[in-house]
Amino acid sequence: MGRIAYVDGRYSPHQDAAVHVEDRGFQFSDGVYEVAVCIDGTLVDLNSHLDRLERSLSELEITPPTTRKVLEMLMKQLLARNGVRDGLVYIQVTRGTAPRDHAFPANVKPTLVMTTKRVDHLHQKNILEGVKIVTTPDLRWARCDIKSVSLLPNCIAKTEARRAGAGEAWMVDSDGCVTEGTSSNAWIVTHNDKLLTRATTDNILRGVTRGTLMDLAKEMSLTFEERPFTVEEAKSAREAFSSSATSFVTPVVQIDNTVLGNGAPGLFTERLQGRYFKYCVNKESEL
């Protein structure tokens, strides 16, 4: 973690940073968050992350804590204060502090918290070598399009993955179709070279990385389709991968007990991963 955290207008040492016990984020998970990655001093897809943050806030009628311009400046300032050129910035906005009562309080000031972390993104073992994933029932609520801090089902599923020696869990709906990962979007590559990922209208998070990968896939003339796929389809797919801001394009080499292909990252996945790395590193995503 970066040494300095930002809490409601103050920079404090990370170990001292705190919010009130009646903050509604703490009491009710009444808040939203974003995670943006910084590579060589540039925030990747910053505008898309800020767009999604604004949408999450608006869907929950939480007052934006600052203007977009100020928020952007604060993010960059915190990264600079912590000396992070390669890493991530975490932003959390809660509805604010109010006497405990389920209904949204009126006229409450939102709480803004930000932290940073240094990460050597492009040399992470999982990203380079791929991961095993497990499948597990999706226990979440019906508004997964909102990036809410209410992540308990995701935590349960990720713990299951860890205990099974897997890097991620893919959650599965009542029709046996994969919704998404606990903190990533899920993709497969079919035997006729088509990329498949679930449509974002189907109650999953509109991943920023997912959106960029679709643009890059179009540019690379790769065919893709947005539709749900079953666990069985995933297990018999040519390749599979997960995408997120922090995990980039992470190859999936095993699903439950089924090894995909020869158990190594697939060529299709590696091509898309390579193109995405280039997109990030070449600052195509700079403002």
Ligand X SMILES: Cc1ncc(COP(=O)(O)O)c(C=O)c1O
Tell me how far, at minimum, the Cβ of 154 lies from ligand X, in Å.
Answer: 6
Of 218-247, binders to ligand X (CB under 6 A) are 243-245
Structure tokens given for 252: 């999936």
Tell me how far, at minimum, the Cβ of 181 lies from ligand X, in Å.
Answer: 6
* The one among 138, 168, 180, 239 contacting ligand X by CB under 6 A: 180
Piece in contact with ligand X (CB under 6 A), picked from 70-78, 93-101, 179-187, 214-222: 179-187
Q: Which is nearer to ligand X, 244 or 250 (CB)?
A: 244
109 is catalytic: no
Concatenating the DSSP letter of every residue in 126-183 gives: HHHH-EEEEEEE----S-TTS-BS--HHHHHHHHHHHHTT-SEEEEE-TTSBEEEESS
Binding residues with ligand X: total (CB under 6 A) = 13
* The one among 184, 190, 254, 273 contacting ligand X by CB under 6 A: 184
Rounded Cα distance between 205 and 282, Å, is: 26
C-alpha distances in angstroms, 171 versus 88, 151, 186, 259?
25, 13, 9, 18
The Cβ of residue 53 has, within 10 Å, a number of other Cβ atoms equal to 22
Please pick, among 117, 125, 147, 158, the residue that the annotation labels catalytic.
147
Binding mask 253-282 for ligand X (x = CB under 6 A): ------------------------------
Of 34-93, binders to ligand X (CB under 6 A) are 35
Beta pairing class for 194-197 and 223-226: parallel
Rounded Cα distance between 16 and 19, Å, is: 10
208 near ligand X (CB under 6 A): yes
Residues marked active site are found at 147
- What residues make contact with ligand X under the rule CB under 6 A? 35, 180, 183-185, 205, 207-210, 243-245
